């Protein structure tokens, strides 16, 4: 089939505030199906698409926004990726969704490592995302133990619109990818400064053999 992997991520993040506001076709769609907001329209569309794929044996995934809308959004069979913060992931899990936690403040590797003007990267999610911050969070936050069975994993993300070569990308990812792997292996682990340095040193020879450049602070 077209999607032999069995799961398809449908996207569905960052819908513009004025989406479809001038569309007669969407206005007619709203009237026909009792939709009011842009989130209602988005949820209706995502539910239709998810249903089409589910009938063909494909499990669907999407960003957290896919659950929005008074009509219930994409549907609880979808796996949601929570990126705006852990609060959104907790809310989705409590609403009955399985989630993958990937809070931008902790695991978006296109963010700057530090506040230094010489550091490469963006800072819209956080002023900086050092290795310590990649480690200093729990996929199941304290006080939200009731959602533990709904948290299916974690994910580190790298967006390449401002980083166009491997040589630029590698120092953004390394050594933070080590912290991400450590977090995925033991979600409750919080390595202190000494442990982080030991982690980087332990994997240094492997990174050198691969040929990956490390961030200058590693």
Identify which of 183, 218, 186, 190 has the alpha carbon closest to the alpha carbon of residue 204: 218
- Tell me the C-alpha distance between 212 and 163, whole Å: 15
Question: Which residues are CB-contacts of 150 (< 8 A; sequence separation ≥ 6)?
Answer: 93, 97, 98, 99
- Report in angstroms the alpha-carbon separations of 169 from 45, 134, 165, 213: 35, 17, 6, 9
Instruction: Give the pLDDT of residue 193.
Output: 59
Strands 98-101 and 151-154: parallel
Instruction: Give the pLDDT of residue 197.
Output: 77
Instruction: Give the pLDDT of residue 70.
Output: 86
Prediction pTM value: 0.91
Segment 70-92, tens digit of pLDDT: 888 999 999 999 999 999 999 99
Instruction: Give the pLDDT of residue 19.
Output: 93
Mean pLDDT across 194-214: 86
What are the chain's domains? 1-58+65-75 (no CATH), 78-218 (3.20.20.80)
Identify which of 103, 29, 92 has the alpha carbon closest to the alpha carbon of residue 65: 92
């Amino acid at each position: 089939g077209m999607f032999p992997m069995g799961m398809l991520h449908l996207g569905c993040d960052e819908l513009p505030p004025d989406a479809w506001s001038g569309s007669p076709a969407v206005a007619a769609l709203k009237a026909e199906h009792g939709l009011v907001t842009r989130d209602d329209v988005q949820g209706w569309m995502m539910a239709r698409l998810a249903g089409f794929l589910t009938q063909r044996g494909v499990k669907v995934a999407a960003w957290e926004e896919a659950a929005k809308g008074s009509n219930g959004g994409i549907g609880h069979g979808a796996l949601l990726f929570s990126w705006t913060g852990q609060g959104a992931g907790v809310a989705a899990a409590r609403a009955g969704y399985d989630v993958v936690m990937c809070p931008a403040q902790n695991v978006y590797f296109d963010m700057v490592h530090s506040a230094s003007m010489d550091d490469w990267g963006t800072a819209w999610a956080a002023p900086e995302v050092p290795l310590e911050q990649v480690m200093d969070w729990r996929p199941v936050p304290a006080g939200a133990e009731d959602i533990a069975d709904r948290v299916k994993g974690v994910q580190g993300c790298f967006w390449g619109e401002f980083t166009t070569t491997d040589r630029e990308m590698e120092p953004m990812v390394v050594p933070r990818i080590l912290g991400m792997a450590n977090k995925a292996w033991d979600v409750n682990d919080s390595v202190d400064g000494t442990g982080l340095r030991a982690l980087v040193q332990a994997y240094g020879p492997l990174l050198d053999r691969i040929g990956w450049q490390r961030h200058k602070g590693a």
